[in-house]
Structure 1
């Protein structure tokens, strides 16, 4: 298990108890310092109060497990959030997305369209009235595209 996955598993339980969704984390070095970014969401949205509440819940867990970081940052995933989990794809079905494909894909590398459906094998997206089926293993990234 990688460090990122370990951290996600540790803090997800704490956040679930507060009805806060863990969207994802970044755990990496930036400017010679270890950065831990935690992206959260909730039904009511994300504000400073929610970030403070989440910080108070996860900091003791991280410290008890000696997870090293120089900076801990909590924030919303933003309007252009990356869709990672199956529940993200279900929640944002019908939304405009921007998809980046891996090099082996025989077609356009960047695709903008409406998210139609997804399963373990494929992502369906409507582009100019036509539904495209994209092999999920060749999808590099799916991001909400609210500015379209």
Structure 2
């Protein structure tokens, strides 16, 4: 049985979703897991989940005779990769970083450099049923910097794309050190 199949069956059997399998130099086998997505309910993988999957995978990989020296099971993290349409659906409205396989060329009517491949913006569903990223090229304001009220904001731009045009897509690691915001009245 192939390594991919062993890991997928074991992870799914425990009620988790396989995000990624990575083999590194020195015999490291890195498995990334997540909890299945239920709209309206956000759950996160914790240490106990990783420990449970690690124990079961060690047993399954030994039985199948898979070669590895060290096994590492982890959560996807704040910069998780987005691969399937289901991932894009789950994280619509979030900040993402995308890298195109090929530069966009003249498709943007000169609004963006013809050789640009990387974009950071908000992931949205496009009108045609595909996906788009919406961004502004306005520079970020540094803490304490004064901004003129007369300054015109940079226009929002949108780029539509198909999943097969992407080299890589990840959640943008946006960290807020001020803590969680209190829930608004009426939120549950």
Match of 1:130 in 2: 157
CA shift digits 1:56-83 (9 cap, x unpaired): 2222221122110011001111101111
Indicate conservation of the 8 Å contact 2:98/2:120, yes or no.
Answer: yes
State the Cα distance separating 1:104 from its structure 2 match.
Answer: 4.7
CA RMSD in angstroms comes to 2.3
State the Cα distance separating 1:39 from its structure 2 match.
Answer: 0.5
Which is greater in Rg?
Answer: 2
State the Cα distance separating 1:25 from its structure 2 match.
Answer: 1.1
For the residues of structure 2 that align with 1:34 and 1:17, how far apart are their CA atoms? 25
Match of 1:48 in 2: 47
TM-score by length of structure 2 reads: 0.65
TM-score by length of structure 1 reads: 0.81
Aligned residues: 139
- 1:11 is the counterpart of 2:19: no
Higher strand share: 1
- 1:143 is the counterpart of 2:170: yes
**Counterparts of 1:71-82 in structure 2 under 5 Å?**
71-82=70-81
Segments of structure 1 that go 5 or more residues without pairing to the other structure are: none
- 1:117 is the counterpart of 2:92: no
Secondary structure of 2:27's match?
strand
Segments of structure 2 that go 5 or more residues without pairing to the other structure are: 36-41, 106-113, 137-155, 176-188
Match of 2:31 in 1: 38
